[in-house]
Amino acid sequence: MFNGLTEKFQGIFSVFSKESAFTEENIKDAVKKVRLALLDADVNYKVASNLVKRIKEKVVGTEVEKQLKKTDAFINIVHEELIDLMGKEESAVEFKKTPTKILLCGLQGAGKTTTCAKFAQYIKREHSKSVSLVALDLKRPAAIKQLQILGAEVDVPVFAIEDEKDPNIVAAKSGELDTDVIIYDTAGRQNLDDDLMEELSCLKNLIKPDYIIFVANCGSGQQAVNVAKAFDEKIQISGSILTMLDGGARAGAAISIREVTGKPLYYEGVGEKVSDFQVFNPKSMADRILGMGDMINLVKKMKREISDEDSKKMEEKMVKGSFTYDDLLKQMKMLKKMGSLKGLFKMLPGASGADLDLSGGESQLKTFEAVIFSMTRRERAGIDDLAMGRKKRIAKGAGISLGSVNKLVKQFKQMKEMAKKMPGMKKNITGANAKKTAILKKNPHFNRFFS
Ligand code: GDP
């Protein structure tokens, strides 16, 4: 994500000389480059100017601690300013009122219909609330059908009236649905127009939503910012959801929308799948922009997919040395649930810009799986030892060479041995601290990951 801006920022930070303090003079070049990088990434001109001004004020006169490199001190300040600009903390929607009514609005193709389903799934999963969707996009011919398909995918009812042309009638007939949360999908237009604003104003008066959320297509850069501003002026939005943050999205909209509208950024869509949706976190976004991975969402993902109980059980088995092929298979399944190895690796600090070839890792996982599937139940449970005859049979069953089976069995045994030897893996504080010190020595600006 944000490849362009991330790379440019990293280039800027490597220009500092070895002087001990920041001065107006020695940061001139870096500040100018920050400004150009921001403008180039489609950040709103005023927003970029204010941000650069604040960075400059903070940097000049900042004492650089001895153990900190100047580059890291500068990055820390840019990082803090970016976080401030995007709202400091997470600002998620509240669902205390029943029903909580949420109206989604935005231009055509911004991702409103898809976001309805993503949002509904998220609310059900994270807040255990029932959700209904109401189809008010009567302009786009296939919009109702699309919402119905997506609604079925996330198992959420969709209220729609086929052949009705007036969204006000549909809204009125939807009445008070018996549900905790109602999300209204509204029509967009190719561009801003009075007709659309009039339609939304009427719906606002009729529905009296608790939240009016603007869906911003970040792929459209500066345009999304201007559109957000116009929507806010006409119908007073409560906040925004950013979409299309995957792929080659430029960071401009993400950085500017909150500042220009003064309204919070609630969530973000990071892919086409209904599960590609998460709370917008200013710190995580600043990390991604600066090419520091996305530890915040990686940890959230792990917590969501792997229960505490499961991970504790696995750890205990590893320590006792009773870890079996069955356990390994379980662990691989957990990893798969979290997404592709490549996607996960990209969330690690330092990996975002790298052109990764993880196909080896993915295919090795597949081979491992094939080998385990070719074992008997007793072999998987570690009751029957894998003698040569058994290995030959497994190789045949998995369609791989005997050499590959030997290699994998050896790796598995090494893994078990290593786990057993790790002194008190469960409470290996010393080890964790040594690792932390080593990481910090190399990258002092990662300190916040350990806080
Ligand atoms: P609407 O006209 O505002 O309702 O937009 P849609 O929900 O129909 O989305 C337009 C297109 O963008 C569809 O093909 C969606 O699958 C796709 N889309 C929506 N959100 C995202 C996202 O976060 N990332 C990507 N890559 N595609 C998205």
pLDDT tens per residue across span 57-110: 888 877 776 656 777 788 888 899 999 999 999 998 999 999 999 999 999 999
Which segment of 40-54, 181-195, 339-353, 388-402 scores lowest on mean pLDDT? 339-353
| Ligand 1 atom, smallest distance to 110 CA | 3
Listed residue (161, 166, 162) closest to 203, CA to CA: 166
pLDDT at 5: 73
Question: pTM for the whole thing?
Answer: 0.76
pLDDT at 247: 67
Q: What are phi and psi of 180, to 5 degrees?
A: -75, -35
| Ligand 1 atom, smallest distance to 118 CA | 20
d(CA 243, ligand 1 centre) in Å? 8
Q: What are phi and psi of 209, to 5 degrees?
A: -65, 150
d(CA 171, ligand 1 centre) in Å? 23
Listed residue (128, 138, 189) closest to 159, CA to CA: 138
Averaged pLDDT, 226-248? 91
Residue 442 DSSP code: H
Residues in the chain: 451
Give Cβ neighbours of residue 301 (< 8 Å, ≥ 6 apart).
Answer: 338, 339, 344, 347
User: pLDDT of 134-172, one tens digit each?
Assistant: 999 998 889 999 999 999 999 999 999 988 999 999 999
d(CA 60, ligand 1 centre) in Å? 43
Residue to probe by mutation, ligand 1, list 217, 272, 275, most atoms within 8 Å of CB: 272
Percentages helix, strand, coil for the chain, rounded to the nearest 5?
60, 10, 35
Listed residue (4, 10, 5) closest to 350, CA to CA: 10
The C-alpha atoms of residue 101 and residue 78 are separated, in whole angstroms, by 37
**Neighbour order of strands in the sheet with 211-217:** 158-159, 131-136, 181-186, 100-105, 211-217, 239-243, 265-269, 277-279
Within 154-281, residue ranges assigned H as helices are 167-174, 194-207, 222-235, 252-261
Averaged pLDDT, 420-438? 48
| Ligand 1 atom, smallest distance to 106 CA | 3
* DSSP code per residue over 177-208: -SSSEEEEEE---SS--HHHHHHHHHHHHHH-
pLDDT at 428: 40
Which segment of 33-37, 38-42, 296-300 scores lowest on mean pLDDT? 296-300
Give Cβ neighbours of residue 451 (< 8 Å, ≥ 6 apart).
Answer: none
d(CA 259, ligand 1 centre) in Å? 24
Give Cβ neighbours of residue 165 (< 8 Å, ≥ 6 apart).
Answer: 138
Strands (E) in 67-111, as ranges, are 100-105
* The pLDDT of residue 224 is above 50: yes
Average pLDDT, the chain: 82
CA dihedral 335, 338, 339, 345 (to 10 degrees): -80
Q: What sign does the CA torsion over 185, 187, 191, 193 have? A: negative
* 303's tokens: 């917590």
Cis peptide before 99 (omega within 30 of 0): yes
- Return the residue whose CA atom lies nearest to atom 20 of ligand 1: 111
pLDDT at 353: 43
pLDDT at 66: 61
Pocket of ligand 1 (CB under 6 A): 106, 108-114, 188, 243-244, 246-247, 269-272
| Ligand 1 atom, smallest distance to 268 CA | 23
- Return the residue whose CA atom lies nearest to atom 16 of ligand 1: 272
Residue to probe by mutation, ligand 1, list 114, 116, 265, most atoms within 8 Å of CB: 114
CA dihedral 299, 300, 303, 304 (to 10 degrees): -150
d(CA 193, ligand 1 centre) in Å? 21
Q: Which long-range contacts (CB under 8 A, 24 or more apart) does 293-296 make?
A: 293/346, 293/347, 293/348, 293/349, 293/350, 293/351, 293/352, 294/346, 294/347, 294/352, 295/347, 295/348, 295/349, 295/449
- Return the residue whose CA atom lies nearest to atom 9 of ligand 1: 111
| Ligand 1 atom, smallest distance to 243 CA | 23
Averaged pLDDT, 233-256? 87
The three-class DSSP label of residue 266 is strand
d(CA 125, ligand 1 centre) in Å? 21
The three-class DSSP label of residue 74 is helix
d(CA 218, ligand 1 centre) in Å? 11
Q: Residue 15's pLDDT band (boundaries 50, 70, 90)? A: low
| Ligand 1 atom, smallest distance to 215 CA | 3
Q: Residue 20's pLDDT band (boundaries 50, 70, 90)? A: low
d(CA 186, ligand 1 centre) in Å? 14
* The pLDDT of residue 431 is above 50: no
d(CA 273, ligand 1 centre) in Å? 10
279, β-bridge pairs:
267
Q: What is the CA radius of gyration of the chain?
A: 26
Q: Residue 427's pLDDT band (boundaries 50, 70, 90)? A: very low
- Return the residue whose CA atom lies nearest to atom 2 of ligand 1: 109
d(CA 282, ligand 1 centre) in Å? 23
Q: What are phi and psi of 104, to 5 degrees?
A: -95, 135
Helix axes 143-153, 112-127, angle to 10 degrees: 20
